[in-house]
Amino acid sequence: MSASLEKGLNALREVMDAPIASFFSSCVHCGMCADACLFYTETGDAKYTPIYKLEPLRRVWQQEYTLTGRLSRMLGLSKPVSDADLRNWSELVYDSCTLCGRCSMVCPVGNDITYMVRKLREGMSAAGHAPEGVIGATKRTIELGSPMGVKLPALQAQIRGQEAETGLSIPIDVQGADYMALLSSMEIINFPEYLGALARIFHQAGVSWTLSSEAFEATNSGIQIGASDIAREIVGRIVTAAEKLQVKHVISPECGHAFTALRWEGPNLIGRPYPFKVVHILELLDELRTSGRLQTVGKEDAPLTFHDPCQIVRRGGVVRQPRALLGEVASDFREMSDPGVWNWCCGGGGGVSANERAEHLRLTAFKRKKSQLDELGVHTMVTACANCRIVLEEGLEHYNMNVKVVGLTELVAEHLVEQEAGK
Amino acid sequence: MSAMELLLWARGPGLGIAVAIFLFGMTLRLFEIYSLGRKTDLAAPRSPTPGSGWRTVFSRSLPYQGTWHRSGLTVITGFVFHIGLFIVLLFLLPHIKLIHSLTGLSWPALPTSLVDLVTVLTLIALLVVLVHRLMDPVKRLLSGFGDYLAWAVTFLPLLTGYMAYHHLLLDYTLLLALHILSAELLLVVFPFTKLTHTFTLFIARWYNGDIAARKGVAS
């Protein structure tokens, strides 16, 4: 894909819609979105004000989609967006935005700023101004099947390991299973115990499930970089595999943006509704809990808290479920300040963690999470996103903090009522 | 042109021209927004979402507690001058009489002394808003000519109205003419500045609430 300014601007024209026009028409430049953004609060640098990150998109809207803007452009009173403008905005659009959605909750006139950053990225990537790290991850997904270059043999090795660990068989390519589970590369490489946890939970609950050898990777860097054509291809692989196996449900792993890609963007990317349902693993676990199929025993006594992954909670609507599940396995659960849909991002979502040039800024932004944790004084933090988990662990290490990060699905699996007929 | 002639022009042709530009401009702006349309969302909503857009239209009027804490000055001055503007615009007796003559609608007025107090508070709030905009790095970065123009055309009708009522500095007839002209300037500038938010924020909030509600989040 050869990138150019013209392609970038065309991509912006393509995404322009009534919501975007209503948002820009309504902005009163009050700056309250800055106070909602951890990249601003932790740096104090005004350029990280969320609405300011949208300047190139706003200018295209104003100059081409309003009468007054068109007139002033004709009279030479405003300059069209140049390639240099887009290049200069790359840091603001990619490094200092995790698509966390907090600004969209705060804006008094109701602007969904995150919605627009996602759209602006379409133009930025088409113009060739996406960061190298995210481009690399995207290339690997297209060529190798996963952003971290994880191929089937690597998964098979982890399957064997987890089968030995749990004494259960992990089904793959089972035709007609109820659920097809997906993983993120992070889980395959760093947290294979997630797979073991699934096997144990589904065994106990009697869930008919399978993995697919053709589509096991759920992450989608196409939506992070802002390349709908690539995002469509990645989602398409999953849809094809699920249709081939004729499953009724596809399970999104804990990974936050994978859920957004699959659940909310996917049908729009491929241009049709799915013949199956997408559920997030936490939704499924909570469903099993309420129907009595998931039985746990004992509770963690140590005080612990929950880090809400933005794409699962604020942008995904899975708010109640993690708390209900924690209630089953923890006796001293404590909410952080600004919990649930108001939580602060780990600082590495939306492709930021794959973007090397953003590392320093990301660690600075982590001070927000650090102060939340310092205030709470808890030494265990549960979360439900493999990317958050890595980013949190890096931040905790960087600031020498004594906090352990635990995946919620694994925590639930640790408290399963063990059954006799396990082997 | 004498002050009386100016007043007559402002009350007659001036008002007609200003209202016409305002109506044409706002219709154009709304057309520019809605004509872009939007794609149907093919992702199944978490649950049916009727009314969610409307809920956000109302709920976004009150800030989240964390917003109070972090953006207190913006929130407080914002509330004061918006509520003040509405009270002065809609509950001052001469304004009600004007609206009655134009539309036939009428409602009880608030005591003039109270509206006078509200005017002073609103003027103060608007001055604080201006200073805040000039001093705060975020607001200053976001601000351009349009922001200061919108501020000025909002401030002037209040100021001239206050001066006319108290017979300050200039002749009453001239002040009244200037007051009406400044309100007409507001109407003319309105559709082409951020003042459009008065109407478009309902559209923006509706989309925001609808988009979030499909995902199961009350925004």
B86-106: pLDDT as tens digits: 999 999 999 999 999 888 999
pLDDT interval class at A269 (50, 70, 90): very high
Nearest-CA neighbor of A103 among A61, A60, A151, A50? A50
Task: From chain B, pick out residues whose CB is under 8 angstroms from the CB of A107.
Answer: 60, 208
Which residue has better confidence, A413 or B124?
Answer: B124
How many other C-beta atoms are found inside a 10 Å radius of the C-beta of residue B87? 18
Is the pLDDT confidence value at A324 over 50? yes
The mean pLDDT of chain B is: 93
H helix or E strand, kind and range, residue B25 = helix B15-34
Average pLDDT of span A119-141: 89
Distance CA A275, CA A248 (A): 8
Lowest mean pLDDT among A184-198, A228-242, B10-24: A184-198
From the list B66, B141, B200, which residue is nearest A22 (CB)? B200
In this model, does residue A421 exceed pLDDT 50?
no
pLDDT of residue A419: 62
CA-based radius of gyration for chain A: 22
CB A254 within 8 A of CB A281: yes
A415 to chain B nearest CA, in Å?
29
Residue B190 has pLDDT above 70, yes or no: yes
Q: In the predicted model, is pLDDT for residue B71 greater than 90?
A: no
Residue of A13, A17, A27, A29 to mutate, testing the B interface (most B Cβ within 10 Å of its Cβ): A29
Average pLDDT over residues A15-22: 97
The chain B residue lying nearest A109, using CA atoms, is B201
- Interval B43-69 mean pLDDT: 86
Give tens-digit pLDDT for A23-58: 999 999 999 999 999 999 999 999 999 999 999 999
Contact A26 B43 (CB under 8 A): no
Closest CA to A123 of A273, A227, A12: A12
What token pair was written down for B122? 């609103």
pLDDT band at A423; cut points 50, 70, 90: very low
What percentage of residues in chain A have a pLDDT greater than 90?
84
- Stretch(es) of chain A classified as CATH 1.10.1060: 5-130
pLDDT 10s digits, A210-250: 999 999 999 888 999 999 999 999 999 999 999 999 999 99
Across the range A84-102, mean pLDDT stands at 96
Contact B44 A115 (CB under 8 A): no
Q: Which of these CATH numbers, 1.10.1060, 3.30.360, 1.25.40, 1.10.1790, describes A5-130?
A: 1.10.1060
Our CA-based measurement puts residue A315 at a distance from the nearest CA of chain B, in whole angstroms, of: 7
**Cross-strand pairs, A249:** A179, A277
In this predicted structure, the answer to whether residue A406 has a pLDDT above a threshold of 70 is: yes
* For residue A126, pLDDT beyond 70: yes
pLDDT 10s digits, A138-189: 888 888 777 777 888 899 999 999 999 999 999 999 999 999 999 988 888 8
Residue B109 DSSP one-character state: P
Q: Side-chain half-sphere of A181: how many Cα atoms within 13 Å?
A: 27
Rounded percentage of chain B residues whose pLDDT exceeds 90? 79
Domain with CATH 3.40.470 in chain A: 139-291
CATH 2.60.40 matches A139-291: no
> What's the whole-number average pLDDT of chain A?
93
Pick from B71, B139, B201: CB nearest A110: B201
Separation between Cα atoms, residue A53 and residue B9, nearest integer Å: 46
Q: Give the DSSP H/E element, type plus range, for residue A37.
A: none
Residue A300 has pLDDT above 70, yes or no: yes
- Residue A221: the pLDDT is 87
**Would you give the DSSP letter of residue A337?**
S
Distance (Å, rounded) from C-alpha A237 to C-alpha A123? 24
Which residues of chain A does B141 touch, with a Cβ-Cβ cutoff of 8 Å?
46-47, 49, 52
Please tell me the predicted confidence (pLDDT) of residue A142: 81
Hey, which residues does A382 pair with through a beta bridge?
A: A306, A406
Per-residue model confidence as pLDDT tens digits over A355-404: 999 999 999 999 999 999 999 999 999 999 989 999 999 999 999 999 99
pLDDT at A422 over 60: no
- Chain A residues close to B207, C-beta within 8 Å: 18-19, 22-23, 110, 112
Query: For residue A1, is pLDDT > 70?
Result: no
- C-beta separation of A372 from A378 below 8 A: no
pLDDT band, residue B64 (cuts 50/70/90): confident
